[in-house]
Amino acid sequence: MTESKKKKQGRRKKTVSELTEAEWEIMEVVWEKEPCAAGDVQETLADSKGWAYATIKLTMDRMVGKGFLEIQKIRNLQLFKSCINKVEARRGELRKMLKRAFGGALTPMLKFLIEHEGLSKEEATELRKLVTTKGTSKN
């Protein structure tokens, strides 16, 4: 295999639910632009976060070690690609929150959202349709 085609695979040490806030910000950019260089991520987040290139690069290198990203080297360029997708990341975050706040149960969370966060008429109708559809399907 040539040098330009070698990939440095991330090792999956942690679960997806352990993404930090900064890692979430970086993952959003990587999912949108992948494969991308750390400089691309830094430019994208410059206005909203003001993070230095060194901060972004160090964080992304650590994310490789955690198994969230992988590096594809092309000559002197390092391109980062995700090892997890948005669904996996969201699922991990939801499971962490469900476990912490509702003992892992989905129904109490939905009840809480309905009672304390409120739903618009449109949201309630959409939720009813979703529950009816998913409740009758085998998936």
- What is the pLDDT averaged over residues 123-132? 88
Residue 47 identity:
D
Q: For residue range 57-78, list pLDDT tens digits in order.
A: 999 999 999 999 999 999 999 9
The CATH 1.10.10.10 portion of the chain extends over 3-86
**Confidence at 101, pLDDT banded by 50, 70, 90:** very high
Please state, for a pLDDT cut of 90, what percent of the chain lies above it: 58
- Cα separations in angstroms, 112 against 12, 20, 80, 116, 118: 34, 25, 39, 6, 9
pLDDT at 127: 86
Tokens 């309630």 label which residue? 124
Is the pTM here over 0.85, yes or no?
no
> 3-86 has which fold?
Arc Repressor Mutant, subunit A (1.10.10)
pLDDT at 48: 93
Dig out the tokens for 55 from the structure: 């901060």
Name the strand (E) or helix (H) holding 60. helix 53-66
**Confidence at 35, pLDDT banded by 50, 70, 90:** very high
